[in-house]
Amino acid sequence: MELPPEDLTREVADFVRGHLTDLDLSERMIADNLGVSTAQLRDLAAATQFDLDRWIVAERLRLAHDALARQTVGWDPEQSRRWGFGNPSLFIEEFTTAYGISPSDWQQIASAEHPPDRPHHERP
């Protein structure tokens, strides 16, 4: 039984969000897990003018952006694997394009603007 487009779209979004950090996340993986064909996913993307691959990248970048803002120590490009990017260089390029700043510069700025709370027993 074929799902209506809005239901399939919701299922795809839920699945992707649940597997965002999985390096193996792909159109094939999504289709297999949702019991649809890759052709159905492509048809859905065409009908809704939605680029699944770009959306996954954007969601991963949002995840990385938020995580880097909370990180208090310098970042290592290998951390990009945590957010589903198998290639650290590609991650840096995508992040810089999306946010206009490199991941390391963003992490430094964000941690300087929001330093971690000091333990109550420490005095300034």
Q: What is the 3-state secondary structure (H, E, C) of 12-43?
A: HHHHHHHCCCCCCCCHHHHHHHHCCCHHHHHH
pLDDT digits (tens, 9 = 90+) for 33-72: 999 999 999 998 888 888 899 999 999 999 999 999 998 8
Residue 115: pLDDT band with limits 50, 70, 90:
low
Segment among 2-6, 42-46, 118-122 with least mean pLDDT = 118-122
- Nearest CA-CA partner of 90 in 42, 41, 53: 53
Residue 124: pLDDT band with limits 50, 70, 90:
very low
CA 1 to chain centre: 31
Residue 3: pLDDT band with limits 50, 70, 90:
confident
Residue 86: pLDDT over 50: yes
